[in-house]
Amino acid sequence: MRVRLAYSGARKRMNDICNADWDAFYRPLIGDSKVEAMIKKQQRKPRKHKRNTKHVWSLVVEDKGVKGFAVCEVKRGEGHLIAMYIDPKATGKGYGSALMDRAFDDFRERGVKRVRTETLVKNKGAIRFYERYGFRKKQKLKYMHKFMSWRLVREL
């Protein structure tokens, strides 16, 4: 497997992975109608992937095709892991860990001392994954699509 900066040809696959994850993992957490509305909205208006810069960049993990992606940002010296999605058929195989390792190399390279991320309070698997990486629950807030979420923070 290898992790590299996302490229324009991977964008559609990244959106498909995101939708497939919502379908597979979020459906039992937030219910059918909300998931279907989110997927429909994203299909109508696909996520806009910004061009990679020093401040915002996307990573893909590849292993005979794109298996997952992460979106990272640095704003006012603070890191933000905006998104992390692995193809539901490929979770639990270390792809998320590979992305996380690379994202943190990139954050360190940019002099970041603190990184935050958000995930649904109900997304216990992802929370376990982030905590294993040294993230700590900081505050509960309404985030993406106004779902109750944890903001998790990792100090570097």
Residue 80 DSSP SS3: strand
CA distance 66 to 10: 7
Closest distance to ligand COA from the beta carbon of 20 (Å): 9
Closest distance to ligand COA from the beta carbon of 148 (Å): 14
Cβ proximity to ligand COA: between 77 and 134 the closer is: 134
Q: Looking at residue 3, what DSSP letter applies? A: E
Positions that interact with ligand COA (CB under 6 A): 21, 25, 83-86, 91-97, 119, 123, 125-126, 128-129, 132
Token pair 């954050």 is found at: 107
Closest distance to ligand COA from the beta carbon of 3 (Å): 12
Query: Which tokens is 97 given?
Result: 């860990």
Cβ proximity to ligand COA: between 32 and 101 the closer is: 101
Closest distance to ligand COA from the beta carbon of 96 (Å): 2
Cβ proximity to ligand COA: between 54 and 146 the closer is: 146
The tally of CA atoms less than 13 A away on the side-chain side of residue 89 is: 7
Cβ proximity to ligand COA: between 43 and 77 the closer is: 43
